[in-house]
Amino acid sequence: MTGNDSRFANGPFAGQTLRNAWRAMPRQWAGTASDCKRDFPLLIKFLFTEAKLSVQVHPGDEQAAQFEPELGGRGKTEMWYMLRAQTGAEVMVGLKPDITADEFRRCIDNSTAEDCLTRIPVQAGDAIFVPAGAAHSIGPGLLLCEIQQHSDITYRVYDYNRADASGKLRDLHIDKALQVMRFGPQKGGKVEPVRVARRNAKENYLAACAYFVTEKWEFEGVLERRTHAMHFDILIFLEGHGQIRCGDEQFAYRPTEVWMLPARLGEYQLEPASATSLLRTYVPPNLKEWVTELANHGVAKAELMRVLHP
Cα–Cα dist 125/25, whole Å: 34
DSSP alpha helix (H) spans, the chain: 18-24, 27-30, 61-67, 101-109, 174-180, 287-296, 301-304
Residues near 302 by beta carbon (within 8 Å), at least 6 away in sequence: none
Task: Enumerate the active-site residues.
Answer: 156
Closest CA to 230 of 279, 286, 268: 286
How does DSSP assign 110-178, residue by residue? TT-GGGGEEEEE--TT-EEEE-TT--EEE-SSEEEEEEEES----EEEE-TT-B-TTSPBPP--HHHHH
Phi, psi torsion values for 7, nearest 5 degrees: -120, 145
Residue 272 has a CB neighbour count (10 Å cut-off) of: 20
